[in-house]
Chains A and B, each alone.
Chain A
Amino acid sequence: MSVPEKKAGFKRKRKSDFGVALVFLAPNLIGFLMFTMIPMAFSLVMSLYDWPLTGEHTFIGLGNFVKLFTEDVLFWKIMKNTLVYVVAYVAFNVLIAMGMAVWITSLKKANEFFRSAFFLPMMIGIVSSTMIFKWILSDAGLVNSLIRFFGGEAPNWFGSTSTAMVAVVIVSVWQGFGYNMVIFISGLLGVSQSVQEAAKIDGANAVQTFFRVTLPCMSPSIFFAVVMTVISSFQVFDQTFVSTMGGPNNETNTLVLYLYNNAFKYQRLGYASAIAWVLFFCILIVTAFLMKQQKRFVNYES
């Protein structure tokens, strides 16, 4: 007889705990539901509808996705552009950030100054940076003047299909590498001196020490930087919105910009939601892939 009583008592206790927990969680939970969960669920529903801004919504099942993948000629071009941007941006960002981090940590003096200086573009904001680069890369701008001075042929940076994406990547890397640089600097400083000295005593030269000892030791920060940069680069929007609006001839049109145009310019909310979910799965798949590689390449010191 005493057992069920106990059980009931336990249940009641848990219930009351739950209520209290809910109260404490409420502020965060409400925000999460209102701004994350419900909008996400809602966009999934919208992606199954033909949902113009004005007029009737009609349920079309997977129609938006079918149209996106089979009929929309622009979509594949945009997919390609996005991937080109992600690969180029992540590669240059990580390499430059790493190079800068190694150089700055090796400095005896003024490393704080350089650290701040290279981080500064992050503080300016991407829109202003892009505006500045539009001037620098304009026909009479700094870069083209220099190219002409040395006798080269000056490209039409943002206006030509062959260089527009290059220009967008240049702006983005200049603006964004400072963040990874700071992560790498802290990674480099975190590598134990004793391990490096041990390598030196064993006869490793500087290059060997860097690639065989330092780099593996800081692989967690490299992994973190790469994953974050990949995720953020899939969402590239501001640079292209300000500089090219996706032009010339959609050469710099990327997924989020296409999503924006569909939603706000062409008023196809269902279609835009479908694009949002495609973007979500792109990021999901790439991140899952990177996470899997983590076991092979990333060294967590015990």
Chain B
Amino acid sequence: MKKRKVAAFLMAMLMTLSLAACGGSGDDAKTDGNGMDGTQTDGGEEIVELRWLNKCESEAEAAIWQQLADNVTKEYPNIKITIENTDWTSYWTKLPVELASGSAPDLMYMHFSRASDYKNSMLPLGEYIKDDENVNMEDFYSGILDCFTFDDEVYAFPYDFGPYVMYYNKDLFDKYKVEYPDEETDWEEFLEICQKLSVDGNYGTVFCSSCDYYIPQVLSLGGEIIDENGTFEITDKETTDALQTLADLINVQGYAPKIADTANTVWNWEQFEAGNIGMLIDGPWCVSNVINYCDFNVGYTIVPAARQHVTTINGSGLAVSNTTKHPKEAYLALQSLTGPAAQQILAENGRALPSRESVRDYYYEAMSEQDGLEEAIKASLDIGIPYHVTENFSEVSTILNSGMDVVFSGEATAEEAAKDIQAQVDALLK
């Protein structure tokens, strides 16, 4: 019995310690030695191998990234890139472990919301940008570049970005003879649409426990959870009123389904794809969901304005780790991977709305079948603000999301929950 007890306990503990085991098994050798082992290009240059830890969700996407990496080698024959693709959730487990164990990749994916957490692991790019005549920093959308800039130093280049827009199920609107929403749609009209659509087991809109989806609406309703300085303040009356208004759409008006799976960050998409949801708010990176999984027509417009026209903008980029043995080559690769040619490929494949303005039209062209998407994105860029984050945002967002569960389920008021959330966030960030 005693042995079993010990063994049982160790199940839990070994999980913790498996990390320590990872520590020793880095594959530094792969990247370290290669500069010196005498491999050369035809031109006589030494070949530099770079390892790129990337976030990637599908085989189709992986092929696009591979094409980009191959193009780097075409441009710089002495640079060879090995990509390691990992999905979103695993990425944020794998990257910290690799960084901690001294086996950091040379290039890495970076999400705007995590940039401040990983600032100390990324190479500041200032001096390389200064010496680079081709980089054309003005071409990047400044809002997203700002998210990668700390103390006037750029740490990552964005490859995409996107404002939250509104997706709507045109077939459902047609079925109930409801007029499509447009840029003029205000909150009253939004409620009216919801009411007309919320019949026969259909719902006007949908929520999900992840705050990313509802923050644009909170802002539109006059609330604000995180300000531009990264301060978290949710107990203001405007904010709790806004959150309550949204939760009431589920529990009072019945315009949105009760969130049945609070652990699933794409639960709203699963409902929307089933065809009985009128409107959903998300960024343009999810247009691929429409193309692949929605067997109905979808239209796009901006987030409806309640008290103001506003939406949030976020995006992703790539960075060089500050422990790379080849910073110069890694920078060149980074510049190429986020350059106009690379972003054009991403755009043409519908993978990303380019952060570079010069190639953004390729995206609109590729997406020309998506009704209203181009207009929605362009209008949203005018009203969009960066999605502000706090320090340690992965943990703060977990507190916010789980604290809001009881509001969306109708078991607590926004005011009560806000106090609870604020106390937990304050305790964490103090």
Which chain A residues have a beta carbon within 8 Å of chain B's beta carbons?
35-36, 39-40, 42-43, 46, 53-55, 71, 73-74, 134, 138-139, 156-162, 227-228, 231-232, 235, 243-250, 256, 259-261, 263-267, 269, 272-273, 276, 279-280, 283-284, 287, 291
Contacts and interface: CB of A to CB of B under 8 A. Distances in A.
B409 A161 contact: yes
Interface in B314-333: none
Most interface-central of B9, B10, B121, B394 (chain A CB within 10 A): B9
Contact of B4 (A53, A71, A156, A231): A231
Interface residues of B, number: 47
B403 interface: yes
Nearest to A140: B201
A235 B6 CA distance: 13
A247 B7 contact: no
A51 to B, nearest CB: 10
A88 B263 CA distance: 23
B151 interface: no
A161 B258 CA distance: 13
A32 to B, nearest CB: 10
A138 B270 CA distance: 13
Interface in B1-60: 1, 4-17, 19-20
B260 A157 contact: yes
B19 to A, nearest CB: 7
B398 interface: yes
A43 B20 CA distance: 10
B64 interface: no
A247 B265 CA distance: 12
B12 A235 contact: yes
A227 B1 contact: yes
A160 B409 contact: yes
18 contacts: A36-B6, A39-B13, A39-B14, A39-B20, A42-B17, A139-B257, A156-B409, A158-B261, A158-B262, A161-B406, A247-B405, A248-B409, A249-B417, A269-B16, A269-B19, A273-B13, A276-B13, A280-B13
Nearest to A72: B427
Contact of A263 (B15, B263, B394, B405): B15
Nearest to A265: B394
A264 B22 CA distance: 13
Contacts of B260: 138-139, 156-159
Most interface-central of A159, A228, A266 (chain B CB within 10 A): A159
A249 B400 CA distance: 9
A179 to B, nearest CB: 14
B229 interface: no
Contacts of B17: 39, 42-43
Contacts of A158: 260-262
Nearest to B405: A248
Contacts of B67: none
A73 B423 contact: yes
Given A54-B96, A235-B11, A244-B261, 8 more contacts: A39-B10, A42-B17, A159-B259, A161-B409, A245-B262, A248-B409, A263-B19, A283-B8
A159 B261 contact: yes
B409 to A, nearest CB: 5
A263 B423 CA distance: 22
Contact of B209 (A160, A247, A265): A247
Contacts of A74: 424
Nearest to B2: A287
Given A53-B19, A248-B402, A231 B209 contact: no
A245 B394 contact: no
A198 B82 CA distance: 78
Contact of B14 (A35, A54, A266): A35
Nearest to A245: B263
A74 B424 CA distance: 9
Contacts of B263: 243-247
A73 B427 CA distance: 9
Contacts of B92: 265
Given A53-B19, A265-B394, A269-B19, A276 B12 contact: yes
B402 A249 contact: yes
A255 to B, nearest CB: 8
B409 A159 contact: yes
A282 to B, nearest CB: 10
A160 B251 CA distance: 12
Interface in B247-273: 257-263
